[in-house]
Amino acid sequence: MRTGKRAWKCSVSTIDTALLLSGMLVASEYFNLDHQGERELRRLVRELYERVDWRWALNGKKTISHGWKSEIGFLSGGWDKGYNEAHILYFLALGSPTFSIDPIGYREWTETFEVREYYQYRYIYAGPLFIHQMSQLWVDFRGIRDELTRTLGFDYFENSRRATLAQRQYGIENPLGFKHYGEFGWGITASDGPGPAVCIVDGVKRTFYDYVERGAPDDIDDGTISPWAVVTSLPFAPEVVLGTIRHAIERLHLKGRRNIKGFDASFNPTFPEYELNQLGWVSHWRFGLNQGPIIIMIENFQSGLIWSLLKRNAYLKKGLLKAGFITAQ
């Protein structure tokens, strides 16, 4: 953080770059006074954003690569298949005044999205909750639609609402029989976990994972719940999220354990722990990637501040237009 040097052997991540830039652009819109310090902040944000070479990140293709490592070059994967968190990445790449990409890549990506129906909710499917949240930390999709959502008849905000309600219903149905699933027991997403381990629990062979991309109703589920992912769904379905948050705070005491602000990353009541408590295994980690979305989505729910700031950002507006978004009729 202090030097900008590479940590461990990490990659240059295109999605993490987009998330960093999104926060910077929010700051540049918020600090809008004709004051030396605020002018300097806006200048730095503009220069850094305009330096990002999104065309290079295509790696000769139409869709954006996941990233690059000095040891191997471009990573093998890309943002080209299936519904995921890359909306904000494409909008910033499309809106660039210096290295803008062709919209055909965005269209090819969205053509791979799959619509499914669970518990009478029809939506563009992704199992982990964070996928339905990450781009919408920044973008208010209410009332705007691209070519795909115009065809479907609902926007991405509504899509996230349906995904949230479907996951809650999955918790109520609890098809795999995990402990503590129910009306207030849901929130399945990419998270820390108690594994890797295989255990016999109450006569059932269970496989537990460490940090993996969990999801529901039709993805990896080992009984690990992430309360932060519930909070981050607050703008989509407050009628079910608020009660679940109260349950996590008042009944499970998941907020403020070990003097940590925010929620513990995840817990798994099904995993056999030597300590006898209703929560079972509880993650010892705290991730900024979890805590940040909590703060942002609470603010968006209360005031819409982050959404309103980026609505006036010229880069994002250009990116949305190039992606084919228009006001819903």
239-272 confidence digits (pLDDT tens) = 999 999 999 888 887 765 554 567 778 999 999 8
d(Cα 32, Cα 43) in Å, to the nearest integer?
A: 11
- 181 and 295 share one domain: yes
Same domain, 220 and 139: yes
27 lies in some domain:
yes
> How much is the pLDDT for 255?
65
Same domain, 211 and 278: yes
Q: Mind giving me the DSSP string for 197-220?
A: EEEEETTEEEEE-SSEE--TTTS-
The predicted-structure confidence for 1-39, as pLDDT tens digits, reads as follows 788 888 888 999 999 999 999 999 999 999 999 999 999
The model's pTM:
0.94
| Residue 31: partners with Cβ closer than 8 Å, 6 or more residues away | 37, 38, 41, 42
251 within some domain? yes
Q: Are residues 94 and 130 in the same domain?
A: no
Domain that holds residue 31: 1-112
Average pLDDT over residues 202-221: 96
Length of the chain: 329
- Are residues 24 and 90 both part of a single domain? yes
Those residues whose C-beta lies under 8 Å from the C-beta of residue 157, and which sit 6 or more positions away, are 136, 140, 141, 142, 235, 236
Which pLDDT score is estimated for 226?
Answer: 95
Whether residue 301 lies inside any domain: the answer is yes
Task: Round to whole Å and give the CA distance between 175 and 289.
Answer: 29
For residue 39, the model assigns a pLDDT of 98
Q: Looking at the structure, do residues 46 and 85 belong to the same domain, yes or no?
A: yes
pLDDT, tens digit, 9 for 90 and up, residues 71-107: 999 999 999 999 999 999 999 999 999 999 999 999 9
Give me the pLDDT at residue 276, please: 58
**Residue 119 domain flag:** no
Strands 326-327, 212-213: pairing is unpaired
Residue 155 in domain: yes
Question: How many structural domains are present in the chain?
Answer: 2
Q: Is residue 188 part of a domain?
A: yes
The answer as to whether 324 is a domain residue is no
Query: Do 218 and 246 lie in a common domain?
Result: yes
